A = this chain, B = another copy of it.
Amino acid sequence: MHSLPFADRLCQRIQQTGSVACVGLDPRANFLPESLQPAEKGDPRQWARAFERFCIEIIDVVADKVPVVKPQAAFFEQLGPVGMQGLFNVIQHATGKGLLVIVDGKRNDIGSTAQAYAQAYLGRGSGSPWGSDALTVSPYLGSDSLEPFLQQCETVGAGIFVLVKTSNPGGGLLQDRQTENETVYQAVARLVEGFNEGRCGLFGYGPVGAVVGATYPDQLAKLRALMPRTIILIPGFGAQGGAAADVAAGFDASGLGAIVNNSRNLIFAYRRPEFSSRFGDLRWQDAVAAATDQMNQQLRQVLTD
């Protein structure tokens, strides 16, 4: 149990590390370094151990470089129950290293089922079996589906990140629809911001964050203005095409209020031409370190301009 709410802990970690980067832990079987590939390719237990070791080694590399990591639940779920044990071990290792952990599960349901998800994932050291600091959540089920999460956030000092405007090309189908005076995603943004009213901490941010893709810089700027109390999680940096300049609009004047996620380009940096020649497959961890430093530097440059 933490005395400080999630938003404050995140802002403090950002100031301590001098980084607004979030490392996405997306263990994809076909990208895993050769040295971690299991001997028995058909054995989910061996894959789960490989995923776990991969993520734990990344955590050891980035623990002092970034404030937060974001394990992607889907890749662990893909291995069945043994994969979920791996996810648990990864969360434990990350929190033990002082990192904040956002589980990317895009969960939600109605009423008491939403409460079950909230109690499952939110609140390190609070009796939550997964013990993470925050969870990504889908808004399709409306405001009453988000309230049990909000309640749990307040009880255990945790956070959620609600999908507002996603980075994929097809996201606009629902999110960009014009309704009355606003789009669907703007309506979600207003809802999210409303939840933070009267719930802001030391840095002026509340427990309910928003996911806004880096692939739409103009919308990011407008959403920053629409949600002044909301921490924005910006995915789509790197592999999905977003660049450092594109995310600048997500931050407040103090360089807070947002975190920028990068998964593939950091954790599989050894596969990028610029790093593969220097490090190769055997020193894949050094490639993670170099790519993380590079991303931090790019973001610092843009945020101090």
Residues of B within 8 A of A179 (CB): 177-179, 184
A178, B180: Cα distance in complex, Å = 7
**Interface members, chain A 162-196 (any B CB < 8 Å):** 163, 166-175, 177-180, 184, 187-188, 191
A117, B74: Cα distance in complex, Å = 5
One of B84, B110, B139 near A140 (C-beta < 8 A): B139
The interface stretch among A75-83, A220-228, A267-275 is: A75-83
One of B114, B139, B144, B175 near A169 (C-beta < 8 A): B144
Do A88 and B77 touch (CB < 8 A)? no
Interface size on A, residues (CB 8 A): 60
The interface stretch among A11-19, A101-109, A248-256 is: A101-109
**Interface members, chain A 33-81 (any B CB < 8 Å):** 44, 72, 74-75, 77-81
Do B173 and A142 touch (CB < 8 A)? yes
Do A116 and B77 touch (CB < 8 A)? yes
Residues of B within 8 A of A80 (CB): 88, 120, 129-130
Return A294 CB to nearest CB of chain B, in Å: 24
4 further contact pairs, Cβ within 8 A, besides A78-B119, A81-B84, A81-B88: A80-B130, A138-B138, A142-B170, A142-B174
